[in-house]
């Protein structure tokens, strides 16, 4: 399967899973794979109709779906987080990111679920 076929398949599956779980029409408007100059790489899933409250209620299930999605895209699911629209409860995106050493040190220093106002951490493996 090509990378674009994988992205299409994972986008549809994750959207179906989240809709079934939440019972509301969340939209995964775009799924992007990315590579950053620092060495981080991963996938960003832009989402609409989804709030921090939804995450807090269904966190365990959402984490599982996101881990599965990341693995299908051959992304090690060691850092999974939601990006929030600042000053609101709206989730802008779900993200799976394989951190470079420098970004790992920055994020590993953070405490709690929201080390920054725009980040909600679903999972961060601190093991290196």
81-110 residues in contact with Zn ion (CB under 5 A) are 100, 103
CB 9 within 8 A of CB 28: no
Give me the 36-55 binding string for Zn ion, x by CB under 5 A, dash otherwise.
Answer: --x-x---------------
Radius of gyration of the chain (CA): 14
Nearer to Zn ion, 21 or 40 (CB): 40
How far, CA to CA in Å, does 102 sit from each of 69, 106, 118, 128? 25, 6, 20, 12
CA separation for the pair 25, 91 (Å, rounded): 14
Which residue stretch of 20-28, 32-40, 50-58, 84-92 sits at the interface with Zn ion (rule: CB under 5 A)?
32-40
For the CB of residue 109, give the shortest distance to Zn ion in the complex, in Å.
14
Contacting positions for Zn ion (CB under 5 A): 38, 40, 100, 103
């Amino acid at each position: 399967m090509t990378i674009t076929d994988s992205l299409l398949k994972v986008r549809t599956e994750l959207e179906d899973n989240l809709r079934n779980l939440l019972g509301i029409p969340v939209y995964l408007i775009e799924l992007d794979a990315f590579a950053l100059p620092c060495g981080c790489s991963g996938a960003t899933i832009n989402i609409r109709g989804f709030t921090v409250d939804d995450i807090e209620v269904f966190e365990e299930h959402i984490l599982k779906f996101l881990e599965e999605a990341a693995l299908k895209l051959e992304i090690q699911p060691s850092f999974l987080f939601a990006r929030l629209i600042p000053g609101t409860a709206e989730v802008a995106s779900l993200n799976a990111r394989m951190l470079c050493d420098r970004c790992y040190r920055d994020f590993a220093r953070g405490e709690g679920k929201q080390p920054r106002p725009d980040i909600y951490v679903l999972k961060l493996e601190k093991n290196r």
